[in-house]
Amino acid sequence: MSSPCFESYEKKIYTHNDLTSQEWYQQYSRFVHLKGLGERSIKSYLSWIRQLAEHYPGKHLPDLKSGPVLDFLLHLQTQRQLNGSTVNQAVCALRTFYRDHLELKWRIWSKVKIKREEALPHVLTREEVARLLSTFRDGRYRAYFTLVYQTGLRMSEALSLRPKDIDAKRLVIRVRHGKGGKPREVPITPVLLSRLRSFWKYHRNARWLFPGVGRGWKSSGLSLRQAMHDCQHHMTKSSIWSAIRIAAAECGLSKTHEKISTHTLRHSYATHMLEGGTQLHQLSAYLGHSSLKPTLVYLHLTAVSETQARQALDTLAGV
């Protein structure tokens, strides 16, 4: 999910304060790249430094004291009214800059407590998932969203899959660059393997499992199959967003549910896997979570946990 932390400020910062030429900024940029962070995290960390510089124009940020940094975080909460998760992104970026990179021994970081909004993930039933997937008339999107639901991959992870990432003998998909740059393996069924193999044989793009079609392919005289075969890039995120929005509207789910996205299918996968008996630690590994904490939320959504809790309660009645 994209954050508003940097998108709306990008042009403004570059216009008035070009930090990229300053040595301390370049050193911090190298530092966060060497930490092995994901591309989005790096972009977010550098953006918060630029926003801090925009808030204190003319100030040399490495010389800034802890007080003004706290004032900036307070400004994000009270003036810009950003949600807790977004402010926490700023905290992580500034803490990395001042504590980890500059090695300043400020005590403020242990005192900063930003309350996050802990909304439960939005989940579809198995019947609703089946209805949604059957709505996609374009084979590209039907194959893509079927894979997402049956593996729980994030949008970018699924889009960047290559044919060689599928291990047919072991029935696993290798996610080479998950969140935070961490690789993992996710199991697949023989049925899904067969569907993905048939889909790849249709386009036979040597590089991508889900290739795009390129601009203007309809007016080029190429068939969809040939356009996919020739395309040098994978399908775009915007095409995925558009496809699932249209499908959700066509099958009636948009009338009964909040915004449905690729991540909705990931949440549904996690919940249904737990209901099917998958162990929590195993599911956490499949999802690419760095700890059990983000996986625990799905326990609140499973019908199985409710049933088991009532069964356990019955056993107490005779005591």
**Per the residue annotation, which of 154, 174, 245, 257 is the catalytic one?**
154
**Residue 152: in which H helix or E strand, if any?**
none
Q: Which of 98, 144, 286, 298 is catalytic?
A: 298
Per DSSP, the three-state class of 173 is: strand
CB distance 184 to 286 below 8 Å: yes
Non-local CB neighbours of 246 within 8 Å, separated by 6+ positions: none
154 is catalytic: yes
225 annotated active-site: no
Report the half-sphere exposure of 128 (CA within 13 A, side-chain side): 18
28 is catalytic: no
Residue 289 among the catalytic residues = yes
Let me know if 14 is a catalytic residue: no
DSSP string spanning 179-222? Answer: GGG--EEEE--HHHHHHHHHHHHHH--SS-SSB---TTTGGGT-
In the chain, the amino acid numbered 47 is S
Give the contacts of 94 (CB within 8 A, at least 6 positions apart).
48, 49, 52, 69, 72, 73
Residue 174: helix, strand or coil by DSSP? strand
Which residue among 50, 140, 142, 179 is the active-site one? 179
Which of 121, 157, 131, 119 lies closest to 267 in space, CA to CA? 121
Exactly one of 50, 195, 266, 272 is catalytic; which is it?
266
User: Catalytic annotation on 203?
Assistant: no
Sign of CA dihedral 6, 10, 13, 17: positive
What are the catalytic residues?
Answer: 154, 179, 263, 266, 289, 298
